[in-house]
Amino acid sequence: MIVMEAVHTPKQKRDEMGDFSQYGELSKVNQTESFAQYGVLSEEKASKGLMSPTIDSIIEEDYTQKLLDRIAYGEGARQDLLTKQEGFGTTEYDLVLGYGDFGKPNKPISDMTMDELYKYQTAMLKNPNNNLNSSAVGKYQIIRTTLFGKGGSAEKPKPGSLAYKLKLKSTDKYDAKMQEKLGMELLNRAGYQDFVNDKKSATSFQNRLADIFASVARRDTNKSKYGQRTATFTEDLKPLFALQKSQPYRPNQELTVSIRPRARPENL
């Protein structure tokens, strides 16, 4: 999940989804498995070695999207658990903190404007049962401070916030396309462009991802920086990192992808 507004010690409960143990340990992807087994390359391509896709194949085999999807899966965007949100949105783009345990929205958040989302997040933070002090929403579990900045709002986002950087209006929808754009911006903040262009090491890139997404493990410890149960491990990221270097297209700010929910690899 995106790092919470409040900082807690490792001994305190830091799992924004009510502890990952509630839905079981996530399987790790063995880095020795073939890319074909992982579901990111066809058997034919895997048998010939790692091959760069053509520009025409990027939409169908977008490796950047696969990295984002894996991170989102660790953040709790799982179809088997999203059924808990029946009545207020069961897509990964409608995911809310604790699957609604700290306040059910009056409509799917992917149908909300940024102003409506801000108000919902504010209400969530005021919920007396929200001892996590988090307002994580959407596929990438972005908190209010990250979206609008400390003291900012949908009308007046603070410099450095996602809304300010991307020049979002209060009337813009927090829909699937918007969330993917925000996800790409978070990757870029972690140093994605430098990583794929060999200006940043895999260790540094992963550790920056772990700063942003609390379910991602640091490479040196293979654990969450924040003491919560880790859901995306080094073993999961290694094959995906390799694929980022193989694609000839270097997306900047926005992905050209289908916004339809994608099937998860069987071993996830």
Domain boundaries, the chain: 20-246
Residue-wise pLDDT tens for the chain (268 aa)? Answer: 545 454 333 333 333 333 333 333 333 333 333 333 333 333 333 333 333 333 333 334 589 999 999 999 999 999 999 999 999 999 999 999 999 999 999 999 999 999 999 999 999 999 999 988 999 999 999 999 999 999 999 999 999 999 999 999 999 999 999 999 999 999 999 999 999 999 999 999 999 999 999 899 999 999 999 887 799 999 999 999 999 988 755 555 444 443 444 443 333 3
DSSP state of 200: S
Q: How many residues does the chain have?
A: 268
**Cβ(187)–Cβ(196) below 8 Å:** no
Sequence-distant (≥ 6) Cβ neighbours of residue 260 within 8 angstroms? none
Long-range pairs for 47-52 at CB < 8 Å and ≥24 separation?
A: 50/242, 50/243, 50/246, 51/246, 52/246, 52/247, 52/248
Q: Does domain 20-246 have CATH number 3.10.310.30?
A: no
Q: What distance in Å separates the CA atoms of residue 241 and residue 123, rounded to the nearest whole number?
A: 38
Rounded to two decimals, what is the model's pTM?
0.73
Burial 128-160 (b: 16+ CB within 10 A, else e): eebebbbbbbbbbbbbbbbbbbeebbbeebeee
With a CB cutoff of 8 Å and minimum separation 6, the contacts of 45 are 35, 36, 51
